[in-house]
């Protein structure tokens, strides 16, 4: 707030309702390198003048999209309600803060501060232009951009590493068969998790051994698959070719193949494909490499009440040579899924181990 400027009034009921609408239309935009943002412009009496949302990198931002539906001068004295603080930088589009000031908007209500080093500062620029600015924090708006904010900060997607295992820590029987270790409730949960992530990653070994579809088959109440479930981008990690007959070639989205160290291909997935949240399904070599590199942000371990024995462990080398080097987990939760258990945990930050620098999926 500039010196001598009065504190902005708290959001009105009409502005709160407009934020609800802005959040709903923001979700229409794609997840990618840019955040999902919605904007609703209100007249002085609280009626809606226009609305807009961001449709992806290179397209008008939500505020400019909303303003484009108004005639010249129609926004003078109006209020803009936005899910994210208007930006203050010039990229492929100009600063939204400047567009708002130039349009004569008198008041801006936004829900989440822009975390970008280049794009933040929009609220200060608006105030400098004489605009009344209110930061109305909202958990829903925060959740909408949480993965994007993480990817912006770390230069890679937020990573969930998932595996299923028997009670004795095996991912398959001695002959390699693994369908199915867990029951239908756990498998349905996996498919819902797939639909909540932008991409699903498996190693070439898993593609060759299991021929996965890598689709999100989310069950409806009647047992059928939800045709509207979001489909994650299939990602294959490794150098080996994907067979012409592989089922993932029939996926509704064309698969992406990456290779190298985990930190390298994770950065590629964010930078080149806009992946904000990644679901790493394995197999053991890939999952272990990501964990060993300190790049797993969440663990989802599905444990079935069965014993398999044998050499096919659910995890490979994670760089632990002695008990003092064990990788500790925090925020542990256990959820029952039918006869199975889902263990959710967050790896404690640790230094990258020597094994992580060499662990690649072939």
Instruction: Cite the active site residues.
Output: 63
Closest CA to 362 of 256, 201, 204, 176: 204
Cα(2)–Cα(129) distance, rounded to whole angstroms? 11
CA distance 301 to 285: 15
Cis peptide before 340 (omega within 30 of 0): no
286 neighbors 236 (Cβ within 8 angstroms): no
List Cβ neighbours of 324 (8 Å cut-off, separation of 6 or more): none
Task: Please report, to the nearest 10 degrees, the dihedral formed by the alpha carbons of residues 343, 220, 36, 267 taken in order.
Answer: 50
Closest CA to 113 of 137, 77, 147, 79: 137
Rg of the Cα trace of the chain? 24
d(CA 276, CA 271): 10
Place of tokens 């950065």: 267
Dihedral angle, C-alpha 18, 20, 24, 30, nearest 10 °: 80
In angstroms, the CA 230 to CA 212 distance is 17
Name the 3-class secondary structure at 29: coil
State both tokens at 113.
Answer: 């501060």
Q: Which residues pair with 80 in a beta bridge?
A: 41, 108
C-alpha 91/C-alpha 281 separation (Å) is: 36
Given a contact cutoff of 8 angstroms between Cβ atoms, the answer to whether 188 and 225 are in contact is no
Q: Is residue 274 a contact partner of residue 288, using CB atoms and an 8 Å limit? A: no
Cβ contact 117:92 at 8 Å: no
């Amino acid at each position: 707030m500039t010196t001598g400027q009065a504190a902005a009034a708290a959001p009105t009921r009409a502005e709160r309702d407009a934020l609800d609408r802005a959040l709903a239309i923001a979700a229409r935009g794609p997840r990618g390198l840019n955040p999902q943002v919605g904007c609703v412009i209100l007249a002085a009496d609280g009626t809606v003048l226009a609305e807009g949302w961001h449709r992806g990198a290179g397209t008008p931002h939500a505020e400019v999209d909303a303003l484009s539906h108004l005639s010249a001068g129609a926004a003078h004295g109006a209020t803009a309600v936005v899910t994210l603080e208007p930006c203050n930088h010039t990229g492929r589009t100009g600063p939204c803060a400047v567009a708002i000031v130039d349009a004569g908007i008198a008041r801006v209500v936004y829900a989440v501060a822009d975390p970008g080093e280049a794009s933040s500062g929009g609220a200060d620029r608006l105030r400098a232009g004489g605009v009344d600015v209110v930061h109305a924090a909202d958990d829903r708006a925060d959740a909408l951009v949480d993965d994007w904010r993480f990817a912006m900060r770390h230069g890679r997607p937020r990573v969930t590493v998932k595996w299923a295992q028997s009670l004795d820590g095996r991912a398959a029987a001695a002959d390699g068969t693994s369908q199915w270790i867990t029951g239908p409730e756990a498998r349905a949960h996996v498919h819902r998790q797939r639909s909540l992530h932008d991409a699903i990653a498996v190693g070439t070994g898993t593609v060759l051994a299991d021929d996965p579809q890598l689709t999100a088959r989310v069950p409806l109440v009647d047992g059928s698959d939800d045709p509207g479930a979001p489909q994650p981008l299939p990602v294959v990690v490794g150098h080996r070719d994907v067979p012409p007959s592989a089922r993932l070639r029939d996926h509704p989205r064309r698969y992406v193949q990456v290779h190298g160290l985990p930190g390298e291909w994770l950065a590629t997935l964010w930078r080149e494909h806009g992946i904000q949240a990644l679901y790493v399904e394995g197999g053991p070599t890939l999952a272990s490499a990501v964990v060993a590199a300190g790049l797993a942000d969440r663990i989802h371990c599905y444990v079935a009440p069965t014993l398999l024995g044998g050499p096919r462990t659910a995890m490979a080398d994670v760089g632990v040579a002695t008990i003092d080097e064990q990788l500790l987990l925090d925020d542990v939760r256990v959820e029952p899924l039918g006869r199975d258990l889902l263990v959710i945990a967050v790896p404690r930050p640790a230094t990258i181990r020597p094994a992580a620098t060499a662990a690649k999926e072939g």
